[in-house]
Amino acid sequence: MKKKIVITYGTFDLLHVGHIRLLKRAKTLGNYLIVGLSTDEFNAEKHKSSFMGYELRKELLQAIRYVDLVIPEKNWEQKRDDIRQHNVDIFVMGDDWKGKFDSLQEYCKVLYLPRTQDISSTAIKNKVTNGK
């Protein structure tokens, strides 16, 4: 059976059910799932901060049965090279990114999956910090 490779990217901070559901849906689209995990340095460039550092987030992702490989995401531009290097068939992101990565359709299929409603790392951080 030919390996059908799916790739997605993210920070995956404060891992929650929305992350798990996205990874599960992404994995059903193929039989090998790669996760590009934003490094701490790249998050800083994006003016984001993570509760957990890269290595801890990577360890959590590697423990999820849907994830086959975790690679570091160091910049916006690497996606095209990752797709080529890993022979990716499908690029997947949450639908809050709809249209942002359409240029990658030249290299593979691009899909935007619906996000799980009412949950996000940002919402969790706000609730913990502000009680709301």
Catalytic center residues? 46, 48
Dihedral angle of Cα 112, 21, 62, 60, to the nearest 10 degrees: 120
- Interior CA angle at 114 toward 109 and 118, to 5°? 155
Q: Among 47, 8, 12, 3, which Cα is nearest to 26's?
A: 8
Diameter over CA atoms, the chain: 50
Q: Which secondary structure element, helix H or strand E, spans residue 36, and what is its range? A: strand 32-38
Residues in the chain: 132
